[in-house]
Amino acid sequence: MGQKLSCRVSPEHVLFTASQQGDVEMVEALLERDPSLLSQTTVYDKLSALHIAAACGQIQVLSLILDRSVHPDLLNRHKQTPLMLAAMHGKIECVQRLLQAGANVLMFDSIHGRTCLHYAAYFGHSDCLQAVLSAAHSTPVADSWGFARFVNVRDGKGATPLHLAARARHPECVHMLLDNGGLVCASTSGFGCPGSTPLHLAARGGSLDCVRELLAWGSDRLHRDSSGRIPYMVALKHGHGACAALLNPTSAEPLVWPSPLKFFSELNPEAKALLEEALMEANRAREKDILKGTAYSSPSPEHTDENLEDDTSEGEAELCCICFDQVCTIEVRDCGHQMCAHCTLALCCHNKPNPSSSTTHFPTPVCPFCRSNIAQLIVARATKITEDPSKLRRSFRRSRNFSEGSSSLKGLSSAMGSFGKMGKGSGRIVDGGDWTNKP
């Protein structure tokens, strides 16, 4: 107390506090007086004002500093860049601004050898993940490394961003990474149990939605880690009964997102969303039987028959001529024939192929009406995308005779269950955010 007069707060400390709190005027005033303050760092973690602003989401301070030609890739004690910290804390505006300033997406920290993509995936910030992925398309990384290699970049223990997202229970990030070329078959070297695939780690984390996503993308339930365990055994060991039920090799195979559609470059995004929805819905219907014996209760509301209304005022939409059950939502180009999302999937879908035959090519699907090659799938014009897809449901199933229009597809499509809203991500468990958390 007696030293009050001699005790003086250093200007860099004021700068760090102002950066943390977003006090732009203060930051500006300090830098006017002494621009060299920007090279100062905190004593222990070696955090610069740019790191602090990025981690705290102080976009105005961050922009102010970047406008002063500060390099965006400053390193702290752990060789973390401001971009990594912004991605870790989900500060999307700062992520975007740093990328715009040319921040390098392919820097590795010294703790786990992780990139900003690992951070975004592990902490479940899908918006930041998307921003980094989009940026990677146009940065030098894409030229030097290739985009596909970047998506599957490994940390010091051989974990890809997909491994981390699966382990940390973030189904949205899992989905996004798969959609961008994340490999379901990649094995870790040291993360988790060595030799773990993303499916092993999803089983370890216990997220049913992550398991669903990976299975729907063709993840192999029989893949063994280096201890010889399949994902089913990992889920059992950690007490995730529902995940174990889906992963049990003796339970029914899930429908897999069709290989011909995976790299269907002409697949219209809206049509793709409808098809994905139909696939997940079909798998949920299959799961009902599988999960019956477990204590798991569905996080999404059940589609009971009470929801079925004979509302014929929705008469504009045409009924699918294959199943006579669902409304036509997908149109085939160039012929213009229409069918429902379920029948479209049934057309291209196959159950999980034998891993040994996974290299065999899949024939291009053809239109079931005219047998012409499918060049493109789009959302049928008559379809009104309402807020609640169940509104489009029609209860023709009882009034129509199924013997008419018998088709080899009918069995498949009717086996796929009903179309409706899929409560995606509703079972999501928010991760605590302890980033030193070990597998």
Residues near Zn ion (CB under 5 A) are: 320, 322-323, 326, 335, 337, 340, 343, 367, 369-370
Q: What is the DSSP letter of 352?
A: P
Q: Which residues touch 65 (CB under 8 Å, ≥6 apart)? A: 19, 27, 38, 49, 50, 53
Tell the smallest beta-carbon distance from residue 413 to Zn ion (Å): 5
Select 293 or 336, whichever has its Cβ closest to Zn ion: 336
Least gap, CB of 366 to Zn ion (angstroms) = 8
Residue type, 383: T
State both tokens at 142: 């894409």
Smallest gap from residue 279 Cβ to Zn ion (A)? 14
C-alpha pair distances (Å), 358 with each of 185, 219, 225: 12, 11, 19
Q: Which is nearer to Zn ion, 46 or 410 (CB)?
A: 410
Nearer to Zn ion, 56 or 323 (CB): 323
User: By C-beta, is 115 or 344 nearer to Zn ion?
Assistant: 344
d(CA 364, CA 375): 9
Collapsed DSSP state (helix, strand, coil) of residue 47: coil
Q: What is the DSSP code (8-state) at residue 363?
A: P
Is the separation of the CB atoms in 136 and 142 below 8 Å?
A: yes
> What is the smallest separation between the CB atom of 377 and Zn ion, expressed in angstroms?
12
Which of 58, 326 has the CB closer to Zn ion? 326
Nearer to Zn ion, 369 or 435 (CB): 369
Distance CA 8, CA 10 (A): 6
Q: Tell me the closest approach of the beta carbon of residue 409 to Zn ion, in angstroms.
A: 8
In the bound complex, what is the minimum distance in angstroms from residue 373's beta carbon to Zn ion?
10
Q: Which is nearer to Zn ion, 29 or 273 (CB)?
A: 273
CB 223 to Zn ion: min, Å: 34
The angle subtended at Cα 54 by Cα 48 and Cα 59, nearest 5°, is 120
Give the start-end residues of each E strand in 334-414.
338-339, 350-351, 376-379
To which residue do tokens 């589609």 refer? 303
**Which residues, other chains included, contact 212 with Cβ-Cβ below 8 Å and sequence gap of 6+?**
171, 246, 254, 280, 283
Q: Which residue(s) pair with 332 in the sheet? A: 377
